[in-house]
Homo-oligomer: A and B are copies of this chain.
Amino acid sequence: MMNSDQAATLLKQKGVRPSYQRLRVLQYLHEHIGHPTAEEIFTALSVDIPTLSRTTIYNTLHTFVSYGLVNCLTLDGVETRYDVVLQKHGHFKCHRCGTIFNFMMDVDRIETSGLEGFVIENKNIIFTGICPDCSFKKTKKGE
C-alpha cells in the first residue's frame, strides 16, 4: 500500500520532517482508511514501538492536519477520527455497528439559501442510519 520510502517522500514533499513515528502513523493511516481514532492508532503501533507515547500520536495527527496530509472528522463528538482520503466525499455512520462509510457526491451542486455573504471553506456531509450488513442481519433475525 505505502512503504516507508513513499511515506518519507510524501512527508518531505509537504515539509514535514519524516521521523520514524510519523512514518509509521502515516503508513498506518494509509493501510487503515476506515477512519481510525488516535487511540486506535496508538494501540496498534504500540506493539511495534513500545516506547511510543500517546502525546506523539496527538502531536503527529495535529501536524498532519495542519500540513494538509489528513483530514479530521468528529461525527458523534466522542472521538475525533482521521481520514487520509483527501478527495471530497461524504460520510455515512451506521448507528448499529458504528462503521463509517465513504460515499461520493457532488458537494458543489447543493443549493442553499441564507448563506449570501458567507465565505464557505469546507462542506461536511454526514448521514446516519443502518448499513446493508446490519440491515440484512436485522431482517434475518426478524423472520
Partner-B contacts on A (CB < 8 A): 74-77, 79-80, 90, 92, 95, 101-106, 109-132, 135
Contact = CB atoms under 8 A, between A and B. Distances in A.
Contact of A92 (B75, B80, B118, B127): B118
A117 B103 CA distance: 12
| Identical chains bound together, number | 2
B124 A126 contact: yes
Given A77-B80, A119-B135, A132-B117, A125 B110 contact: yes
B128 A101 contact: no
B130 A121 contact: yes
Which 4 A-B pairs have CB atoms at the shortest separation, nearest pair first? A74-B77, A117-B132, A103-B114, A121-B129
Contact of A106 (B95, B111, B130): B111
Nearest to A73: B77
